[in-house]
Amino acid sequence: MFYFCGLFLKIMSTNKPELYTSFSPALLHLYDVSNSIVVIIDVLRATSTIATALYNGAKSVIPVDSVSHCIEISKQIQGITAGERDGKIAEGLEYGNSPFEYPREFIEGKTLVLTTTNGTKLLHMALDKGARQIVTGSFSNLDEVCNYLLLQNLPVVLACAAWKDRVNIEDMLFAGAVINKVKDSFDINCDSSQVAETIYTQAKEDLYGFMKIKNASHYLRLSNYGLEKDIRYCLTPNTAPVVPFYEDGKLILQR
């Protein structure tokens, strides 16, 4: 009886799709993205801003990998140029990378053309590697992303944008939050995922306090620019419950 139960559990377990976490774009090549949903994670602040803009009615967000490309595309489609380099509004662009710049009364019906230091570059990397699906994740849309992953029942790669390829705490925290919610439905043989969930479990009661006490490099960078309000928002779950989905060159909400 126990043998059959064990066998049944084993069969059940091997039928689950795999889930991996990549802590940096420089590690993405280690995972089979061509078979997976790739969740692009850039908590501070690209993917929080993408979720917020779409939740507030943006028509779409076009992620581009350079400032010149951002300006060029924006001209063609009458879009809004937005983005940052090194945490500040990039020269030549109209708007930055703060979710507070995109309230409904401004962004509704418009298209944002966005370029950021890490997040939009990682998205293009996943695209170049032939990702099966690309969605973006942040605490702002945590539960929606988890529900989406559970419904799809496909392999998943949680891809952290990091900071210029260096591992960061906030993207790891979000990966850990996702794992914490979906782990029973996935086969997880991945130390990075275990680490991410362990860190999240320790931090979840006060994500902001954890970032501060751990001297997170991005916390320091943004708080030096007076952006504590952005950090607090970007660590708050479910303020923008949507799933930004990449299709034909843009991030849109699924029909």
How far is Cα 198 from Cα 19, in angstroms, rounded to an integer?
16
How far is Cα 162 from Cα 154, in angstroms, rounded to an integer?
24
**For a copy of itself, which is the closer residue by CB, 154 or 213?**
213
Q: How far is the CB of 165 from a copy of itself (least distance, A)?
A: 6
Closest alpha carbon to 70 in 52, 53, 49, 85? 85
**For a copy of itself, which is the closer residue by CB, 200 or 246?**
200
Angle between helices 142-152 and 169-182 (to 10 degrees): 50
**For a copy of itself, which is the closer residue by CB, 176 or 244?**
176
Q: How far is the CB of 4 from a copy of itself (least distance, A)?
A: 23
How far is Cα 170 from Cα 43, in angstroms, rounded to an integer?
6
Q: How far is the CB of 170 from a copy of itself (least distance, A)?
A: 9
Q: How far is the CB of 144 from a copy of itself (least distance, A)?
A: 26
- For the record, the structure tokens of 65 come out as 């990998």
Helices (H) and strands (E) in the chain, counts: 11, 10
Query: How many residues make up the chain in this entry?
Result: 255
Q: How far is the CB of 167 from a copy of itself (least distance, A)?
A: 5
**For a copy of itself, which is the closer residue by CB, 133 or 194?**
194
**For a copy of itself, which is the closer residue by CB, 30 or 77?**
30
Distance in angstroms between the alpha carbons of the first and the last residue of the chain: 47
**For a copy of itself, which is the closer residue by CB, 30 or 154?**
30
**For a copy of itself, which is the closer residue by CB, 110 or 129?**
129
Q: How far is the CB of 158 from a copy of itself (least distance, A)?
A: 13
How far is Cα 25 from Cα 167, in angstroms, rounded to an integer?
9
Q: How far is the CB of 240 from a copy of itself (least distance, A)?
A: 25
How far is Cα 69 from Cα 109, in angstroms, rounded to an integer?
22
Residue with token string 């602040």? 45
Q: Which residues bind a copy of itself (CB under 8 A)?
A: 23-24, 26-27, 30, 164-169, 172, 188-192, 194-195, 198-199, 202, 214-218, 220
Show Cβ contacts of residue 231 under 8 Å, excluding neighbours closer than 6 positions.
44, 208, 211, 219, 222, 223
How far is Cα 236 from Cα 9, in angstroms, rounded to an integer?
36
